[in-house]
A and B are shown apart, each in its own frame.
Chain A
Amino acid sequence: MALTRDQIAMRVAQEIQDGYYVNLGIGIPTLVANYVPEDMDVMLQSENGLLGMGEFPTEETIDPDLINAGKQTVTAVTGAAYFSSAESFAMIRGGHVDLTVLGAFEVDQEGSIASWMIPGKLVKGMGGAMDLVAGAENIIVTMTHANKHGVSKILKKCTLPLTGANCIKRVITELAFMEIKNGAFHLLERAPGVSVEEIQALTEADLVVNGDIPEMTF
């Protein structure tokens, strides 16, 4: 069975370590916060200027001066810090964030990612996505393996305008956990009940399959 959005988030959360500073993008990446193991402390970075993002507020604690990068009202956890946008991107560009999780339209076997613009549709802007992919050493991309017509989004070469070139190393889809190295995707894990052949069928890129590929465990 293909993973649900929450299961993708659960699998990403397994990559988190105690003491990590983590930036989560909009969509599936946001769900990762729900699956951080209880015995671990993680500080969430929000690029509009908050380290230590907490849950949504109550009617009583809501504060228009405290939002996340998606412009939602949030709270701050114990030990949080506020800072300017320049400081925030110094953290990101300087490689101080331990893990960045973001979504994508396409990724390719050179590690390039397209996530901000579809020609012909209104361009709203890249926000902080280009800075995040350029700055972070440790990035996990969460995305669907193919579009609803079965056209692969795991490509030899991205077709959409890039967010970043040669910067992505790990991708988790509803079917597979893959690593990008030496100009190819390497299959690390399968979603439970999904065969290597099914993954290959929906992967346009070169896919290296070494030996038995284990199923993900939750």
Chain B
Amino acid sequence: MSGFNKVVTSYEEALAGFTDNMTVMVGGFGLCGIPEGLIEQVNKLGSTGLTAISNNAGVDGFGLGKWLEKRQISTMIGSYVGENELFEKLLLSGEMEVILTPQGTLAEKIRAGGAGIPAFFTATGYGTQVADGKETREIDGRNYVLEPSLTADFALVKAWKADTMGNLIFRKTAMNFNPMMATAGKITVVEVEEIVEAGELDPNYIHTPGIYVQRVIKGNFEKRIEQRTIKPSSEKE
């Protein structure tokens, strides 16, 4: 069974082979479901020239915001990236290129990449600047844009539970981009809250089968909340 044991015990091991100028996918929606320890480790490594594919770019001082501080990202591919001030500076100064991609198209580009589909047609963005320079086609009377898929050298994923064989279960909306990214990384590293023995997760409820996963590490998560919203106390039941 050891051939299928994906568990690593240090972040150095988890990111072995990670170098400058790589393309890296990072799971999460805002700060929800981000692989905090793996992001930290890339920050420690100080790798530069990275192409980062992530829906958002973190906040000042947390998540991918840390990579921005160290100027590690040269190209950012995401759908909504403006939650931090530093990002604006890097964008305006030209230090970083940003490729804004509609959120559903981004998710599908990653899904397609992991599934071996080189490109797909979508109506999203037709007639907008997202379609500039891209092939379009009319199919059954509707216009579509050809969107190439995405893969990465590394996919950094956050899951709730893994077993030692890399089978994954996500939790609530911390799932988001993580399952597709797990399929689209040449090396997929998953940071989880809990690692259990193979056989302890019900095969009926596996979200991501272990075949997509190369390394699993148990992390400690701060789980910072971006928009803490509480029901007004007068409405409390």
Name the residue on A nearest B207 (C-beta).
A84
The docked-state distance in angstroms from the alpha carbon of A122 to that of B110 is 26
Q: Which of A85-93, A144-152, A169-177 interfaces with chain B?
A: A85-93
Q: How far is the CB of B157 from chain A (nearest CB, A)?
A: 12
Q: How far is the CB of B135 from chain A (nearest CB, A)?
A: 17
Q: How far is the CB of B180 from chain A (nearest CB, A)?
A: 5
Residues from chain B with a CB closer than 8 A to the CB of A112 are 127
**Interface status of A131 (Cβ within 8 A of chain B):** yes
Interface residues on A, range: 35 or more
B127/A62 in contact, CB under 8 A: no
**Interface status of A180 (Cβ within 8 A of chain B):** no
**Interface status of A159 (Cβ within 8 A of chain B):** no
Q: Give the residue of A57, A127, A162 whose beta carbon is less than 8 angstroms from that of B127.
A: A162
A92/B100 in contact, CB under 8 A: no
Residues from chain A with a CB closer than 8 A to the CB of B108 are 86, 89, 93
The docked-state distance in angstroms from the alpha carbon of A50 to that of B171 is 11
Residues from chain B with a CB closer than 8 A to the CB of A55 are 231, 235
Q: A71-B32, A130-B105 are in contact. List 13 more A-B contacts (CB 8 A).
A: A57-B231, A58-B231, A66-B172, A67-B173, A67-B226, A68-B173, A85-B177, A93-B104, A122-B91, A127-B102, A134-B123, A134-B125, A166-B127
Q: Give the residue of A67, A86, A161 whose beta carbon is less than 8 angstroms from that of B227.
A: A67
B227/A134 in contact, CB under 8 A: no
Residues from chain A with a CB closer than 8 A to the CB of B173 are 46, 48-50, 65-68, 82
A67/B104 in contact, CB under 8 A: no
Q: Which of B3-11, B16-24, B76-84 interfaces with chain A?
A: B76-84
Residues from chain B with a CB closer than 8 A to the CB of A82 are 170, 172-173, 175
Q: Mark B208-237, 1 if CB is under 8 A from A, else 0.
A: 000000000000000111111111000110
Residues from chain B with a CB closer than 8 A to the CB of A19 are none
B122/A93 in contact, CB under 8 A: yes
B227/A71 in contact, CB under 8 A: yes
The docked-state distance in angstroms from the alpha carbon of A131 to that of B109 is 13
Q: Give the residue of B33, B80, B179, B226 whose beta carbon is less than 8 angstroms from that of A65.
A: B33
Interface residues of B in 73-128 (CB under 8 A from A): 78-82, 88, 91-92, 100, 102-108, 110-111, 122-128
The docked-state distance in angstroms from the alpha carbon of A47 to that of B78 is 15
**Interface status of B2 (Cβ within 8 A of chain A):** no
Q: Give the residue of A58, A85, A134, A166 whose beta carbon is less than 8 angstroms from that of B124.
A: A134
Known A-B contacts A72-B229, A85-B180, A125-B81; A165 and B124 likewise in contact (beta carbons under 8 Å): no
B107/A86 in contact, CB under 8 A: yes
List 11 A–B pairs whose Cβ atoms lie within 8 Å, in order of A's numbering: A62-B230, A65-B171, A67-B226, A73-B227, A82-B175, A85-B29, A85-B107, A125-B78, A125-B81, A127-B79, A130-B130
Residues from chain B with a CB closer than 8 A to the CB of A89 are 103-105, 107-108
Known A-B contacts A57-B230, A62-B228, A64-B32; A127 and B175 likewise in contact (beta carbons under 8 Å): no
B180/A84 in contact, CB under 8 A: yes
The docked-state distance in angstroms from the alpha carbon of A48 to that of B106 is 12
B29/A48 in contact, CB under 8 A: yes
Q: Give the residue of A58, A65, A73, A131 whose beta carbon is less than 8 angstroms from that of B102.
A: A131
B100/A123 in contact, CB under 8 A: yes
**Interface status of B178 (Cβ within 8 A of chain A):** yes
**Interface status of B51 (Cβ within 8 A of chain A):** no
| Closest CB pairs A-B (n = 3) | A165-B127, A89-B104, A124-B82
Interface residues of A in 39-70 (CB under 8 A from B): 46-50, 55-59, 62-70
- Looking at A69, A71, A112, A122, the one whose CB has the most chain B CB atoms below 10 A away is A71
B111/A70 in contact, CB under 8 A: no
**Interface status of B204 (Cβ within 8 A of chain A):** no
**Interface status of A74 (Cβ within 8 A of chain B):** yes
A48/B82 in contact, CB under 8 A: no
B229/A125 in contact, CB under 8 A: no
Name the residue on B nearest A122 (C-beta).
B88
**Interface status of B72 (Cβ within 8 A of chain A):** no
B172/A63 in contact, CB under 8 A: yes
Residues from chain A with a CB closer than 8 A to the CB of B231 are 55-58
